[in-house]
Structure 1
Amino acid sequence: MNSGTPVLGVRDLTVGYNGVPIVHNVSLELVAGTTACVVGPNGCGKSTLLKGLAGLVKPMGGVVDLVGRGDITGMSTAERAVNGMGYVPQIDDVFKPLTVEENIVIGGYTLSRSKVAANKERVLELFPRLKSMLKRHAGVLSGGERKMLAMARVLMLEPTVLLLDEPTAGLTEEMASRLLDEQLTELKADGVAVLLVEQRANLAMASADWAYVLATGRVRRSGSAAQLRADPSFSHIFLGGTEEALVAAAETTDTEGEVRCS
């Protein structure tokens, strides 16, 4: 992958429900201060992959290594959060009855009072628009504001890795582009490694450094996001093609020796 310090290594991860695998033998790597995106057709296992990484679904096989912590595969979601992995779900990502400030503070539930105060100031610098909304209830925020709040809350524990599941869902194209461009740039500058699952593949790949293309629960291709986005053999499939077409394109390209799969 990109040069730099790896902070997350995933090897042969298989995740599913009720004994039925949905994600098969996925391997990937995240580097500090970079963003990787996972793109692919609806129902290909993108969100299931993140849930397996976050500990919400117990993996059926494989290993998840977090830098400085080693193998975290058996850890709960709460244990992973304390050890440096943050997760922002697509829905139910904030506590709507609470104020913006209360949401942020509750994100530092394991920290001392002084550390909570310091980290609150730090995340408000990352998301300055939240400063004027501290006393507002989270339930009245716009979709983009809620997503910023959700990320701010998770960042209170200073994760080295941040998992984002469909952060632009429900947002306008303009707001989605702004969220990805501005906030991912800020997170990367802060040294956070981001793994982003997005249905808006074109926007995600425009903001990411690296991309993994998922179809039928398997990584079919990976590489520089900019290069994959510019590849005419894949661009039309990224933007609405079927899983069958994506798999066929990947296999054809693989035969020509141009694919780097994880």
Structure 2
Amino acid sequence: MAIKAFAKVVKEVPDAQLDIFGHGDEKQNYELLIKKLGVEKNIHVYGYTQDAVGEFQRSGFSLMTSKTEGFGISILESLSVNTPVIAFDYSYGPKDLIENDVNGYIIPNGDVDALSRKIIKLLKNPELLKKLSQNTEGVVQRYAKPIIREKLLSLLNYVDEYQDELPVSIQSINQVISIDKKEDRSIYLDIELNLKLVTEEIQPKCYIHVTAPGAFDKMDSTLYQGVYSSEKFKFNLSIPFEVIESILKYPEEPFTLGVQNKRHYQMIKLPKIKEEILSFLN
């Protein structure tokens, strides 16, 4: 996404430079795309760096174009050295760390045109970039080591004090799963879960997590929130065939149900989903 967006940027700002750091299977594909778009003089792909913070510090601003992340530590590293961030609006991280139009920009996930427009805006407006840089201080302080340490100790003390009182939310689950294979090399799952809870005081929030290797990189989302309807939670999952292959080889159970009931969160494995996929493919 960043490469395609930057190819648009170069047309308006010919001397713009983008450095890409990291390692993985996609490096060769990046280099081929850069050559195809004719931006070899503007975009440079490097391997892993042991000085990520230094690279951020030497940059005017940084880009985060992941589809999903666990938290977004790279965003925090960038902001820690007063380097604003333009990020896609993926789950977890950007909205907690970036205040739009204050210390960076959050743009719709996958919107290449919006990404290129924001890059051009900052490259052509050094005073605006300076203003965004000055607004990064407060965010970093919220994640300072002493503050995180105190929050972690407080959480551990809470669990230690109340662990005998933590309720088990789920008493039983009735699963109804239907699967359909589409032309775009994905399998679509419609899942209905009828949960019997120990307490009915509050309607919980339910999530299905997909944890198979490769899912994080190849799926738009690995966390699906259920929609409550007719006393059931309904989920719609779209899983590419390449992730299905990983799921079938994965020795652990790749589907997990998370139930949030008030302050408590319970995780339960859902082996029936993998069983249904196997049955469908056979």
TM-score tier by shorter-chain length is under 0.3
State the TM-score, normalized to the length of structure 1. 0.26
Q: Looking at both structures, which has the greater relative contact order when contacts are Cα pairs under 8 Å and sequence separation is at least 6?
A: 1
TM-score by length of 2: 0.24
- Higher CA-based Rg: 2
